[in-house]
Amino acid sequence: MDIGIGLPGHARWSEGTTLMEWARRAEARGFSTLSVSDRLAWSTPEPLITLAAAAGATSRIRLLTSVLLAPLRANHALFAKAVTTLDQLAGPGRLQLGLAPGAREDDFLLSEVDYGTRGKQFDQLLDRLAAITASDGPVGPQPATPGGPALLFGGNSKATLRRIASHGTGWIAGDATVQDLQDFAPQIRQAWKTAGRAGSPRLVASVMYALGPDAEAAISDAIGSYYAFAGDEYAQYGISIAYTEPEQIIAAIAAFDQIGCDELIFMGNDPDPAQVDLLAEVIGL
């Protein structure tokens, strides 16, 4: 199982150079993937721009949106151009797009994008992206990765299963537990098989972490405020399942690996780049 790391973009960071130091350290320590989350109504950095900077600061590590709120990108051709440009900047096979319809209505209100039809808009975007990345048409550049970057889809709906089977390479689960994967993975594999897809869908899970003497305070501050929109109970649940001790992290890796997870990504909650090294030391990178 691959082990990736996520930028602490939803935490209280103040300088973009800090995130690029995370990227450089993540590659130097041997993490498989560098991911970045997405929100409009928050200080989270824009994912494609952030990964473009990370692409310039690194040369090997995979780059992942985890997850990008796809329907907010209402100009589908312009979105496809941004994706193919980033794929060119990163080089073949490095960029992966984790995509989801989004669950927070305020992100859509601020975008003046209709929340109620976001699923339909998402499907239209996917069709346009596929058409542009597969042809040498007027919208360029062409992607460095043949056919465009790999697509992973978030969510646990029937529409998610359909999108994985028709456009995707697999599933990405945020704030995931082992039980989440055990519950949904059989449905993904069945949808994949029914669609006649070769091979197996990729299963990626992301979890929250912070390490060191201030880990619990960092988790409470970052996650508590980030998920406050869903109420205190949900925020406290997010805090409770985050990892703050080396023993928890080692146990999580073993548990996710045992159930067939292909990649586990630890999302940062403390902006200090030393967090990259602390995690690397715990898992032996």
pLDDT tens digits along 207-238:
999 999 999 999 999 999 888 888 889 889 99
Is a pLDDT exceeding 90 seen at residue 18? yes
Give the pLDDT confidence of 91-103 residue by residue, as tens digits: 999 999 999 999 9
Write the DSSP assignment of 202-246 as a string of letters: EEEEEEEE--STTHHHHHHHHHHHHTGGG-HHHHHHHHHTSB-SH
283 contacts 250 by C-beta, under 8 angstroms:
yes
**pLDDT exceeding 70 applies to what percent of the chain?**
100
Q: Round to whole Å and give the CA distance between 47 and 3.
A: 20
108 contacts 118 by C-beta, under 8 angstroms:
yes
Supply the CATH number for residue 157's domain. 3.20.20.30
Structurally, the chain folds into a number of domains equal to 1
Averaged pLDDT for residues 124-128: 98
pLDDT (0 to 100) of residue 228: 84
Q: Round to whole Å and give the CA distance between 231 and 229.
A: 6
Is a pLDDT exceeding 90 seen at residue 185? yes
- Residue 256 has a CB neighbour count (10 Å cut-off) of 22
In 3D space, the residue among 229, 219, 214 whose CA is nearest the CA of residue 266 turns out to be 219
Band (166; pLDDT cuts 50, 70, 90):
very high
Averaged pLDDT for residues 14-38: 97
Q: Round to whole Å and give the CA distance between 228 and 181.
A: 25
pLDDT (0 to 100) of residue 229: 82
pLDDT (0 to 100) of residue 231: 86
Name the phi and psi angles at 172, rounded to 5. Answer: -125, 130
Give the pLDDT confidence of 149-164 residue by residue, as tens digits: 999 999 999 999 999 9
Assign 42 to helix, strand or coil.
coil
Domain of residue 124 covers: 2-283
